[in-house]
Amino acid sequence: MNRILLETINKKNTSRPPVWFMRQAGRILPSYRELKQKHHFYYMMKDKDLATEVTLLPINDLKVDAAILFSDILVIPDAMGLKLDFTSNGPKFSNALKTTGNNIIKYDSSKLNYVYDNIKTIKNKNNDIPLIGFCGGPLTTFLFMFRAKENNKSFKDAIKFFYSNRKESIKILEQITEASIDYAKNQVLSGIEVFQLFETYCGAIPHKLYEELILPFSKKILNTVKEMNCPNIFFPKDYSLGLKSINSDICDFVSIDWHMSLNNARYLVDDSVGIQGNMDPRILYYDLDKIEKYLQSCVEFGSNNYDWIFNLGHGFIPDIDYKKAQFVVEWIKKTNWNR
Ligand code: CP3
């Protein structure tokens, strides 16, 4: 097995940083686009053979050091009865949470069995590369659960509900956390090697409020996999100076968004926690010379920090040229990182 990601997470010294990309399965790959012309995204995610194929496409096409399960963070609210629909304009729930309150939620764990079958199929097909499982952070999941219309992209209603119905909000967050724990546990039992928690909308509330009210839930989900010997990565996007509250009681690695420099992130985050990130995905709009300059600017950090996973500061943008992502991976692999 390509062990560079696991060795880095386990704080072993390697000759270069491992590399994978958020949203590498889907989005930018021509091979994915071809499949998408024939099948709906939701169908591909549920179908064992297609989900396996798409999960493994970036291994062939980009030569990254890890695969991430082809699925979505919104399968949890779907299993909680919200009825997920992926329209061409984005996801929505026909049974979205009501801002009038008194929401009744029932999690049906069996609705996620297909994910566990997919993980087993992927591991059977290719055991040469570590597989990353994931779920959404509690706040991000909560915010999406109010989305009844695909064109309603702001979380205004959900945030208003969070401020005005605090008690019910916390109850819903508890239910999301319980479902996520069950989901994460079953992913580990099915064979994932690493788990990432995507708290993409961490920055929707002040970081102090996140730390007090939501972080204990995120920690519970992350600790669940950790107790099962599966290392974890936490992606609290836009957490900014809140990163100061991240330590190894919470996660093994923290994924940094593109707002902050790697050195500032390293300064803020406790030494016991490794760093993942954080190339601004828009750098991939540059030409290759400028991309190479950016990569060169990372070498000093990479030579001093063994506990670093190269990744983006947020997922690929759909219109990025995948050849530039290939270039990044090749460059990382051939460069002398002065280690
Ligand atoms: O990293 C990977 O490629 C693995 C698969 C993955 C998907 N979504 C597939 C997907 C992962 C890890 C996600 C996470 C996800 N989903 C997040 C958190 C990370 C992030 O980038 O912010 C969020 C907020 C979602 C919710 C979601 N799913 C939205 C808002 C949309 C529509 C717009 C879009 O493309 O992001 C989706 C659909 C979705 N999830 C697609 C894919 C490949 C696009 C479907 C298509 O091809 O039409």
Domains contained in the chain, CATH given:
4-334 (3.20.20.210)
Q: Which atom of ligand 1 is nearest to the CA of 55?
A: 4
Q: Specify the residue with its C-alpha closest to ligand 1, atom 23.
A: 73
Q: Please confirm whether the linkage preceding 95 is cis (ω < 30° from 0).
A: no
Q: Taking 90 as the threshold, does the pLDDT of residue 26 lie above it?
A: no
Pocket test for ligand 1, best of 55, 72, 119, 183 (most atoms within 8 A of CB): 72
Q: Which residues pair with 87 in a beta bridge?
A: 90
Q: Which atom of ligand 1 is nearest to the CA of 32?
A: 47
Q: Specify the residue with its C-alpha closest to ligand 1, atom 6.
A: 72
60 C-alpha to center of ligand 1: Å?
21
Q: What contacts 20, CB < 8 A, 6 or more positions away?
A: 5, 58, 64, 65, 66, 67, 68, 132, 309, 311
Q: Compute φ and ψ for 26, nearest 5 degrees.
A: 100, -170
pLDDT digits (tens, 9 = 90+) for 182-227: 999 999 999 999 999 999 999 999 999 999 999 999 999 999 999 9
Q: Taking 90 as the threshold, does the pLDDT of residue 152 lie above it?
A: no
Q: Which residues pair with 68 in a beta bridge?
A: 132
25 C-alpha to center of ligand 1: Å?
9
Q: Taking 90 as the threshold, does the pLDDT of residue 61 lie above it?
A: yes
- Each residue of 241-279: b (16+ CB within 10 Å) or e? ebbebbeeebbbbbbbbbbbebeebbebbeeebbbbbbb
Instruction: Check if 77 has its Cβ closer than 6 Å to any atom of ligand 1.
Output: no
Instruction: Check if 220 has its Cβ closer than 6 Å to any atom of ligand 1.
Output: no
Mean pLDDT of 7-21: 97
> What is each CA distance from 20 to 133, 145, 271, in whole angstroms?
13, 29, 23
Structure tokens at 194: 């690493």
Q: Specify the residue with its C-alpha closest to ligand 1, atom 10.
A: 72
Separation of alpha carbons 96 and 119, rounded Å:
28
pLDDT at 111: 98
Separation of alpha carbons 288 and 127, rounded Å:
33
Q: Which atom of ligand 1 is nearest to the CA of 136?
A: 18
User: What does pTM read for this prediction?
Assistant: 0.97
Question: Can you give the C-alpha Rg of the chain in angstroms?
Answer: 19
pLDDT at 115: 98
Q: Specify the residue with its C-alpha closest to ligand 1, atom 7.
A: 72
Torsion angle defined by CA atoms of residues 9, 12, 17 and 23, in that order, rounded to the nearest 10 degrees: -20
Separation of alpha carbons 132 and 68, rounded Å:
5
Beta carbons of 131 and 67 less than 8 angstroms apart: yes
72 C-alpha to center of ligand 1: Å?
6
41 C-alpha to center of ligand 1: Å?
10
Separation of alpha carbons 278 and 146, rounded Å:
30
Structure confidence at residue 298 as a pLDDT band (50, 70, 90): very high
Mean pLDDT of the chain: 97
